[in-house]
Amino acid sequence: MGRLIYQIYPRSFADSNGDGVGDLRGLASKLDHLEWLGIDAIWSSPTFPSPNVDWGYDVSNYRDVHPELGTLDDLDTLIADARTRNIDVWLDLVPNHTSDKHDWFSDRPEYYVWSTDIPNDWKSGFSGGTAWEYDARRKRYYLHQFAVEQPDLDWWNLDVRAEFEQILRFWFDRGVAGFRIDVAHALIKDRELRDGERYQRERPEVHDIFRAWQAVAHEYDPKPTLMGETYVPLAHLPPYYAHLDLAQNFAFTNAEFELDDLRPIVERTLKTLPAGATPLWFGSNHDHSRLATRWAFGDEARARAALFLILTLPGDAILFQGDEIALEDGKVPKDRITDIGDPPRDPERTPLPWTRSGDEWQEPWLPLGSTKRNVEDQRADPDSTLHYVRDLIAQRKQFSDDSYETLKSVSGVWAYRRGDKTCLLNMTDDVAGHEGRTLQPWQGLIL
Ligand code: GLC
Ligand code: CA
């Protein structure tokens, strides 16, 4: 109940060898700190070999580690070291597409989606133009929902399904305790390639794939966790819980940090998820401006309010690396932009500042943002956001159950019953009173 999942963007977490790119040994060297923080699981963004057109989300080999990040041995060591601290390691599986440099793209063309002409109006997520690219060698068009270098796999092909079931076993055998599933809502497309977005994504057949994966997961004890990147409207989220353990709730993440916007989303989520489903809350990830910037506009009190909410709602929560110190997006000058996305996602991917000097990052791959908020200073200060988050992580374990009930409150204050406790959150810039208690602007209280 109430797991805390900590998302790591490995290139920007910790660098062990001074080449400016974070790596697995760097990550392993921070496990003591993550244990101190109280996390239950690490989800790392992709660790596989990749030409890095989309920074690891274009995989060229699903059974190895990117040399810049380390070796398979390093990953095994990380998993074992994390285990001794009761921390699970989850990887990021990218099954919608491969890199065009994956062997399959030349050796197993039947694994991909082809057409002799452009068959429909489907769009590519990155260019906004057609999702079909002509391949001179095959004299046909292939589908790419993302970059041209990321051809989509054909999930109607049973061999593709068998490959991925083997890939899951490969990692579960090594002790990987879960996967975040990239683009989980759009793996399988309409077999007839009909026009329209509703044929390009959210096809009901995707649940058959997850049913099979869940069966693979059930071969292991403890059963690994399957978490979907389910980028769908809230009303479409519940079916994903049929075979996934966790379905990411982007309606929550994409809301404004305003009581009148967020509270109805939370209430609706809790009302509509199937019985027994674990809700999942987060405010930042590697694709979204960080919560300290996007929700809090840099204001630390307001960032703490967002963290309070994420950490006191029922279910599991994800913190993106840096959320725990209210880290803001980095400023990345135009000539340092590396991302193919528009707008570029580099600002939320800048290195995590461990110290005020920032000397732990030598010529990092993305510029280091402000080090005003850094881990070292905040660990030394019991009043810091880092300690605030650590205390909340400890307190969330104390809720007696996963129940939630909105309580009556004055305007601007979110009051809710959580198990045997009451949570109060002042979502305004003004001092507020609730049943004789005074709440400072953006203050949260657990009673
Ligand atoms: C997911 C990832 C994103 C990536 C895209 C294509 O949305 O989170 O970073 O660019 O898939 O793989
Ligand atoms: Ca390195």
Kindly give the distance from the C-alpha atom of residue 404 to the centroid of ligand 2, in angstroms, as a whole number: 44
Of the ligands numbered here, which is closest to the C-alpha atom of 52?
Answer: 1
> Counting beta carbons within 10 angstroms of the beta carbon of residue 409, is it exposed (0 to 12), middle (13 to 18) or buried (19 or more)?
middle
To the query of whether residue 363 is one of the catalytic residues in this protein, the response is: no
Determine if ligand 1 sits within 6 Å of the CB of residue 153: no
All domains of the chain in start order, with CATH = 4-97+158-402 (3.20.20.80)
Determine if ligand 1 sits within 6 Å of the CB of residue 340: no
| Average pLDDT in the chain | 98
To the query of whether residue 229 is one of the catalytic residues in this protein, the response is: yes
Of the ligands numbered here, which is closest to the C-alpha atom of 348?
Answer: 1
Catalytic position from the list 74, 88, 229, 348: 229
Which stretches in the chain have pLDDT values below 70?
Answer: 1
Give the pLDDT score at 176.
98
Of the ligands numbered here, which is closest to the C-alpha atom of 69?
Answer: 2
> Counting beta carbons within 10 angstroms of the beta carbon of residue 386, is it exposed (0 to 12), middle (13 to 18) or buried (19 or more)?
buried
Give the pLDDT score at 1.
62
Q: Collapsing DSSP states into helix, strand and coil, what is residue 389? A: helix
Predicted confidence (pLDDT) per residue in 189-239, tens digit: 999 999 999 999 999 999 999 999 999 999 999 999 999 999 999 999 999
For the CA of 94, the nearest atom of ligand 1: 12
d(CA 34, CA 350): 19
Kindly give the distance from the C-alpha atom of residue 428 to the centroid of ligand 2, in angstroms, as a whole number: 42
Determine if ligand 1 sits within 6 Å of the CB of residue 183: yes
Contact between 310 and 279 (Cβ < 8 Å): no
Predicted confidence (pLDDT) per residue in 160-193, tens digit: 999 999 999 999 999 999 999 999 999 999 999 9
d(CA 235, CA 273): 9
Determine if ligand 1 sits within 6 Å of the CB of residue 182: yes
Q: How many CB atoms lie within 10 A of CB 136?
A: 6
